[in-house]
């Protein structure tokens, strides 16, 4: 062992403290570069199985691609196509906005008045009952009206 720094010396990050010199280097194994392929592992199951959780993780993955974070070429096209397909399938599902609002309500329910929460939950219940209808539309305007009417009462 050959020391490169003396005891009590100031150390920077990445400083070499010592070097190992082998007595007989023929006794060591030579390293080989790995030339195989890595298996494709998805982390979707770690982020959730509900539609809104899958949507969030897919959207995050695509935003990362747009920010410049990509995989090497053998994997990039496959993952990009898979994520875009998954995103559009999630966006076509009419239950996505319902699950998003339920998640938000679960987060803020203690911080909003109970009457506002109950009105929004009633709108979501009506939307859920008509979810299988072809003409169903998410009641975003009604939710906005509930919030605006409560905000108008606060300004008085």
Tens of pLDDT, residues 58-100 = 999 999 999 999 888 878 898 899 999 999 999 999 999 999 9
Residue-range definition of the domain harbouring residue 60: 44-92
Does residue 35 sit within a domain?
Answer: no
pLDDT above 70 (res 11) = yes
Same-domain status, 56 and 73: yes
Does residue 16 sit within a domain?
Answer: no
Does residue 64 sit within a domain?
Answer: yes
Beta carbons within 8 Å of 131's beta carbon, 6+ residues apart: 94, 95, 98
Does residue 11 sit within a domain?
Answer: no
Does residue 30 sit within a domain?
Answer: no
Same-domain status, 136 and 113: yes
Does residue 38 sit within a domain?
Answer: no
Same-domain status, 130 and 103: yes
Going by pLDDT thresholds of 50, 70 and 90, the confidence category of residue 134 is: confident
pLDDT above 70 (res 51) = yes
Same-domain status, 100 and 151: yes
Same-domain status, 84 and 106: no
Extract the tokens encoding 19: 């070097």
Same-domain status, 105 and 120: yes
The number of folded domains in the chain is: 2
Does residue 3 sit within a domain?
Answer: no
- Residue of 102, 109, 108, 103 lying closest to 123 (CA atoms): 102
- Residue of 154, 78, 88 lying closest to 116 (CA atoms): 154
């Amino acid at each position: 062992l050959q020391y490169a720094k003396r005891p009590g010396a100031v150390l920077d990050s990445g400083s070499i403290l010592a070097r190992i010199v082998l007595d007989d280097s023929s006794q060591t194994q030579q390293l080989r570069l790995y030339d195989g392929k890595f298996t494709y592992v998805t982390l979707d199951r770690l982020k959730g199985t509900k539609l809104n959780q899958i949507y969030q993780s897919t959207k995050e993955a695509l935003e990362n691609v747009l920010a410049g974070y990509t995989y090497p070429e053998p994997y990039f096209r496959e993952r990009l196509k898979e994520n875009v397909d998954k995103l559009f399938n999630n966006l076509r599902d009419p239950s996505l906005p319902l699950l998003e609002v339920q998640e938000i309500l679960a987060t803020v329910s203690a911080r909003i008045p109970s009457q506002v929460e109950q009105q929004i939950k009633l709108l979501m219940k009506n939307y859920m009952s008509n979810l299988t209808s072809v003409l169903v539309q998410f009641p975003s305007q009604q939710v906005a009206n509930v919030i605006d009417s409560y905000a108008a009462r606060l300004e008085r």
